[in-house]
Structure 1
Amino acid sequence: MTIQLPLTVLTPARACDCRVCPFFIDNPDAAEPICSGSNSDCSYCGSARTADQLTPSCGQCSIRCGSRTDIRAWMRDAGGTLDFDDITLQDMHWPDGMPRFVPQIDTTNPAELDGDLQWPAYAVGLRRVFSPKVWDVLPGFRDITAREALGLGDGQLSVLVGYGEDPLVEAFWTRRRRIYPLMAQHQWDLVLSPNFSMYGNQPRTEHLINFRRNLVIAEELLAAGVNAVPNIYWYRLEDLQRYSRWLHDITPPAIAINLQTFRTDADWEEMALPGLSWLGGELPTATRLVVVGSSRKSRIDELLALYGDRLTVISQNPIQYARHGAIMGPTGREDVHADVAVAFAATVRYYSSLLTQWTPEDQTATRTCGGSNG
């Protein structure tokens, strides 16, 4: 699928000049008034304000801004707009039998881990499928289904977490139209589509283009026959408000959020949790939230208080702990020197219990008490 380009491909203003930018909400001539202005924390403003069409290295910059010599090409590749209205996620569905907790593993042969566990679904990360060295699908995932490549049994579901370091996901974007048919052959039960980063020190243009690309790539995957869920990021309240309007227009079965980068308490409490809290009250009741990277009980409790039984968690913690003979339980990490499969199964069951034993009464109690400390 190719996103239908509008008649005019809009481009952000050079040198972050909001007065003439087609996306600035206070520009009376703006075609898409969606942005409240440039990012005061941007570390690239000097480059943006001095760049000109003769700057030889501008096109090699890893950051997209209105002063880039190739910004029109980037905008065209993202659909010629920063709006979301053309993204419908029409063919997405939530797989039957998907558990509330899905362990992400580091191997293509989970039989050694699964043992007597017989877990309903397993996930793998993008770099286990798409090579970070040669930017192509790895040999073990060619001419084979994902279930076969992972060694899953009948009825077990395969999940691809399409997240990775920036060079990996950018290479995937560049080659995506060649890769889509191969991914369709894999017959993944669910794919969390690759997500493009949002950093606080980037130009606002970079934020907005990446918010758009996170949705475009899911839309294209769906059109190629891959059951993909889009990842969303935000930086300002206006971003969340725009997502809310879009979500209520289309009511998708699910959206995903990558929480792996919010490692410290400050990151969680100052950046992640406020947006998650706002979104929790706005997400359509029929839309599930899939999160990757929240493994602390306190954080899972907070997410449950916000999203209840609509929450699905994917985590690498069970395999990471098991490789060191450790488990996670009610008292925290325990180094029990257990067999890998035994330790893995214990931690998977523990995380699952946090989600499946939750009740609406827990949600009410947590909100009344103000939640737990992340």
Structure 2
Amino acid sequence: MSVFLGLPVRTAPAARCDCRRCPWYSGADADPVVTIAPVCSGCNADCSYCGCARAETPAVGGPPACASCPIRCGSRTDITAWMSDIGHTLEFDDIRISGVLPPGMPTFIPQVDGSGVTELDAGLRWPAYAVGLRRVFSPHTHGIYPRWRQDATAAQILGLAESTLTVLSGYGEDPLVEAFWTARHRDGLIERIAALRFDLVLAPNYSIYGNWPRAEHLINMRRSLLLAGELADAGIATVPNLYWFRLEDLRRYADWITANPLPAVAVNLQTVRENRNWDTWALPGLCWLAENLPDDLPVILTGLSRRDRVATAVELFGDRLMLVSQNPAQYALHGAVMTPDGRQDLHARIPDAFAASVRYMASLLPHPTLTRGGA
């Protein structure tokens, strides 16, 4: 929020993506009177929402167009409410995230669905396990599932030794993470997460799609960091997720990280399946981050499983790379294992298949296995 003549000015992206009237525009033709924080170089040429339905007459008795639209843009009738929800700014400067990674965190962390983890770990004794947000937080009730409301730690609920590290992988489909954002201040939701004593939380990330307006990108990047900050403020070791659309986004992250040392950064690559998305978005961004992030900053990638992509990530980040993947658990349900030659259907026992795949994935990463953690 800016100040004009001593009074707060509540800023918002300009309606109809009118850059010249937008306080966040950084273009050469930006109006210096209007511009408050130049963080955006202009409209997204690939946006599919330029023909906004707000101009259409809603059906008789139907809701206003903005009420049923999932996209946040300057033309929304409630855009000021959204800007209020994120602190009236699209900058990162006010967000602080402190903390360290827990000692003994392995470079590979298998993600499980939360059931039968004792049996999976019996012959493996792995140092850490992750569980996804949808196994802990319900998109239907917008609260913690009863199983996780016990007076117990995450390790105890999963049936693991207290010495085993637990990670909450806060990623999920858009409806899930949107529900978490809306409910985060209700019924002590963040405090309940803190009470579970996860050793590490990878903060939820809010989507950035290529056909969305630029305002939605900017709002979602800030929301991802804001939520990570709120989790960290609750005493949780939290790693923020980085999502980007343009080079200017990566530069903003790098500047913010330089001024605000973090325990690590994370990138969720679970939806990057097609080579086109990998080649045009993920890989260029990862290359830039590898060159511009602090050399000692751990980087946690979720969703990589292909041997060639893992090898590329190792080449980029070396021994500061950490991976989280649910593939070993998914393959094991079908008696299959991950191997250098790809998936092999061996009809193996689930715990045996799981252990084999976990060891294989760990073998793709620099050693020693245990490399990360603060005092």
Amino acid in the other structure paired with 1:113: L
Q: 2:67: which partner in 1?
A: 59
Q: Deviations over 1:97-116 (max 9, x none)?
A: 10000000012440110112
1:75 maps onto 2:76 in alignment: no
Q: Distance in 1 between matches of 2:13 and 2:336?
A: 50
Q: Distance in 1 between matches of 2:356 and 2:222?
A: 39
Maintained 8 Å contact 1:191/1:229: yes
Maintained 8 Å contact 2:336/2:347: yes
Q: Distance in 2 between matches of 1:279 and 1:43?
A: 29
Q: Give the deviation of 1:244 after TM superposition.
A: 1.1
Q: Distance in 2 between matches of 1:31 and 1:258?
A: 31
Q: Which of 252, 256, 261 does residue 242 from structure 1 map onto?
A: 252
Q: Deviations over 1:132-177 (max 9, x none)?
A: 2221100010032211111111310010001111111111000102
Q: Distance in 2 between matches of 1:154 and 1:253?
A: 22
Q: 1:251: which partner in 2?
A: 261
1:50 maps onto 2:55 in alignment: yes
Q: Give the deviation of 1:49 after TM superposition.
A: 7.6
Q: 1:372: which partner in 2?
A: none
Q: Which of 307, 310, 316 does residue 320 from structure 2 map onto?
A: 310
Q: Distance in 2 between matches of 1:118 and 1:164?
A: 27
Q: Which of 280, 288, 291 does residue 270 from structure 1 map onto?
A: 280
Q: 1:98: which partner in 2?
A: 105
* Identical counterparts, % of pairs: 54
Q: Distance in 1 between matches of 2:324 and 2:338?
A: 15
Q: Which of 7, 24, 33 does residue 38 from structure 2 map onto?
A: 33
Q: Which of 111, 117, 120 does residue 110 from structure 1 map onto?
A: 117
Q: Distance in 1 between matches of 2:15 and 2:114?
A: 46
Q: 1:300: which partner in 2?
A: 310
Q: 2:373: which partner in 1?
A: none
Maintained 8 Å contact 1:51/1:67: no
Q: 1:153: which partner in 2?
A: 161
SS at match of 1:32: coil
Maintained 8 Å contact 2:210/2:245: yes
Once structures 1 and 2 are overlaid, which stretch shifts more, 19-28 or 120-129?
19-28
Q: Give the deviation of 1:195 after TM superposition.
A: 1.0
Q: Distance in 1 between matches of 2:261 and 2:73?
A: 31
TM-score (norm 1): 0.91
Q: Deviations over 1:336-358 (max 9, x none)?
A: 11110001000000110111349
TM-score (norm 2): 0.91
SS at match of 1:104: strand
Q: Which of 152, 161, 181 does residue 191 from structure 2 map onto?
A: 181
Q: Distance in 2 between matches of 1:180 and 1:256?
A: 20
The 1:229/1:52 distance shift into structure 2, 3 A limit, reads farther
1:164 maps onto 2:164 in alignment: no
Q: Give the deviation of 1:286 after TM superposition.
A: 2.6
Amino acid in the other structure paired with 2:39: I
The 1:115/1:284 distance shift into structure 2, 3 A limit, reads same
Aligned residue runs from structure 1 range 300-339, under 5 A: 300-339=310-349
1:229 maps onto 2:239 in alignment: yes
Q: Give the deviation of 1:52 after TM superposition.
A: 10
Maintained 8 Å contact 2:132/2:172: yes
Structure 2: segments with no counterpart, 5+ residues: 370-375
Maintained 8 Å contact 1:48/1:67: no
Q: Give the aligned length.
A: 355
Q: Give the deviation of 1:48 after TM superposition.
A: 6.8
- CA-atom RMSD in angstroms: 2.0
Tell me which of the two structures has the higher relative contact order, counting C-alpha pairs closer than 8 angstroms and 6 or more residues apart. 2
Q: Distance in 2 between matches of 1:220 and 1:48?
A: 34
Q: Distance in 2 between matches of 1:357 and 1:228?
A: 24
Any runs of at least 4 consecutive aligned residues in structure 1 with deviations exceeding 2 A, and if so which? Answer: 4-9, 48-55, 356-359
**Bigger fraction of residues in helix:** 1
The 1:279/1:87 distance shift into structure 2, 3 A limit, reads same
SS at match of 2:112: coil
